[in-house]
Each structure stands twice: as C-alpha cells, then as structure tokens.
Amino acid sequence: MDDFMTNSVTEEPWFGDPTASTPDYELPDMTCNLAPVRDFRRAWEPSLFWMIAILGGAGNLAVVWIYLNIRRRLKTMTDVFLLNLAVADLLFLVTLPLWAAEASHGWTFGAAMCKVTLAVYKVNLFSSTLLLTCISVDRYVVIVQTAKARNSQAERRRCGRLVCAAVWLAALLLAVPELVFTTAVSTETEEGPRHFCRMLFPSHIGQHTKMATLWVQVLMGFCLPFAVMAACYGAVVATLLKTRGFQRHKAMRVVLAVVAVFLATQLPHNAVLVTQATQAAHVTITDCHELKHFLKAAQVLKTLAYLHACLNPFLYAFVGVRFRRDLLRLLQLCICWRRLPAPSDQLARNSKSGLGSPRTSDSDTSQALSL
C-alpha cells in the first residue's frame, strides 16, 4: 500500500525496530517514493547481518562453552554477568538471519513468528545493555572498593544471579509493546505485495504510544546505561591513575576501549531513533531527497549498532588473561579433536605397525576432552 496512514491504525514502518521497511511517505506537498531506500536495504543488510550473526555467534558460543565446559563454575560476579551477556547476544544474533531474509524478499514466516522475533530482539537489546551496566558497576566495586569486594565474594556471586534474573524480567516487561502491537503487514512494492514485520498502533493511542515506546528504548537502552558506565568507569580511571605499573596502563586502555566502542556503536543509532520519532510526529524532514538520504544513513547506523554483539566477547571476556588461556585450551581441544583418528583407522594403523595399543592412551584422550 502506498499510504502508511489509515483511519484505523497508525503504521510505523521504521520506528526503532530492526525491520525498517519503508513504504511511501506522504509529505506536505507530494508523495515520496522510497523504493530506492528499499533497494538499498536489500543490497546492504542481508550479507552484513549474516556476517554479524556468524562472527558474533562464534565469539559468544566460545564464551558460553568455556564457562560450561572448561571452567564449569562461576567464580565471580563478573563471570555471572559475562555468561548472561553471551546468552543475550546469542539470542539477538539468532534473529538477524530472519531480518536478512525479510530485507531480501519480505517477511514470510507468519504473524506469530513476527511478533515473537521482534519481542526476542527487544528483550536482548535491553538485557545486553543492562548487563553491560552491571559489569561496569561490578568493576567499580572490584577496583575502587577492593577490600569490600574481597570480603564478600560469595555474597556478591549470589547477588549477581539475582541481579541477572531482575535484568531478564525487566527486559521482558520492556518488550511487552512488541508482543502487543507487532504484526506482519502487506505492503505494495515494485515486485508486488510483500509482507513486512512492523509495529502497528491504534490511531487513538498511536502517537503517544509510539513516542513512549521510543523514549523507553532510548532511555533504558542507551542513556541510563551510559550514565552509569560513565560514572563507574570514571571512578575506575581515577583509582587507576593513583597506581603504578604496566597493568595500570593496560587496564585504562581496556576501560577507554569499552566506553569508546559503546559510544561509537550506540550513540549514532539512538540519535537516529530520536530523529525518527520527531519525523513521525511532526514531519520535520519535508524534502524527499533529504528523507531518502536520512533513511539510508539510518540503515548503516543500525548495522553499526548491531556490531556490538560481535565485539562484546573481545571487550569483556577475551581481554582477560584467564579467558585468553581458556580460549587457547578450547582451540587446542578443537585441533586435537579433529586430529583424533577414527577407531577403524586407528586399529588398521595398529595392525600394520604391529602395535597392540593406540599411541594415544584413553587416559590422555579423556584428559584432553575434559579441558
């Protein structure tokens, strides 16, 4: 359909969700055909979404595998947060192939799947940013309040599990609008009618609900986490400046990298969300050519924001000495597993060599597999 405003519902085609389908906009003096924006999305998103899903999936799966199979025990509060962060990123990354498919040929998975997928996306958007906030608070306690952290490790670990449960519950509550208002909508395109996964608001509550939903996402998904992170990491840097040695400089580089990456990936996208809400309510961009450029830039900045799911394992997990050691052990395990001969091949090799037992004993193999 060419018009996105109807009497019964207010359709928000690119309002803060990953689908960002773009039917024509009715500007004050003309109708702006946004087919080039749809073409740009079709060319831009699928390959990049698949790349983010594969790279981020590998990194976060490594984190989960290390915790569940190598360490087997969550020793610190940060361990609890990192494991939950990896799970949150994985659940988010699982949805990207579906959005890639929608960008290529529309939404073909049904209205129920549309509702669930967008809700899962929002749950993990909020849970991951809130968990990053929890990690910054924990690092503040460990570095700035060292004595307190050392004397209450077991209590803090239990508290970490409760905090994670609260984070997941809050994320579920914040995703309720997606469960209520999301559906698959038929849109007329150059290739014919196609379905897109969108949020539709009843006209009598449309504008207020849209604005409230957007501001909740901006405040809980960026402003609040960044404010807490800035305060905690500011205190951490102040404490590190009072110490000496190489480790101080290394720790400061890590802190600066964490804050810089969060700002670089999330700030531009959230600025776009605010601009989109203003455009939806007041039509501040009235030039069709300018609107097309803005929507294309929004697609690029959205993909940049999604890169954070790939970078989280390297910023928060693999930067630690213990985690790098565990990752090397995981890689060695994978290499050893690939090099282990099949039983039939091993028996044939032993019979040819005249050996009565394999070169690698069962105890050595079990020891390797238990790392």
Query: For residue range 243-272, what is the model confidence (pLDDT) as tens digits?
Result: 776 566 677 777 888 888 899 999 999 998
Whether the per-residue pLDDT at 11 is higher than 70: the answer is no
Residue 99 pLDDT grade (very low, low, confident, very high; cuts 50, 70, 90): very high
Q: How confident is the model at residue 294, as a pLDDT?
A: 87
Residue 232 pLDDT grade (very low, low, confident, very high; cuts 50, 70, 90): very high
Q: How confident is the model at residue 16, as a pLDDT?
A: 37
Q: How confident is the model at residue 151, as a pLDDT?
A: 61
Q: Among 197-206, 241-250, 270-279, name the one with the lowest average pLDDT.
A: 241-250
Which residues have C-beta within 8 Å of that of residue 6, sequence separation ≥ 6? 203
Distance of CA 294 to the CA centre of its chain: 23
Residue 141 pLDDT grade (very low, low, confident, very high; cuts 50, 70, 90): confident
For 146-183, what is each residue's pLDDT tens digit? 766 666 666 777 788 899 999 999 999 999 988 888 88
For 280-292, what is each residue's pLDDT tens digit? 667 677 788 888 8
Q: How confident is the model at residue 361, as a pLDDT?
A: 34
Proportion of the chain above pLDDT 70, given as a percent:
73
Return the bridge partners of 25, or none.
Answer: 32
Q: How far apart are CA 160 and CA 307, in angstroms?
A: 26
The whole-number average pLDDT for the span 73-101 is: 88
Q: How confident is the model at residue 338, as a pLDDT?
A: 59
Question: Considering the chain, what is the average pLDDT of its residues?
Answer: 76
Strands 9-12, 30-32: pairing kind:
unpaired
Domains and CATH numbers, the chain: 9-328 (1.20.1070.10)
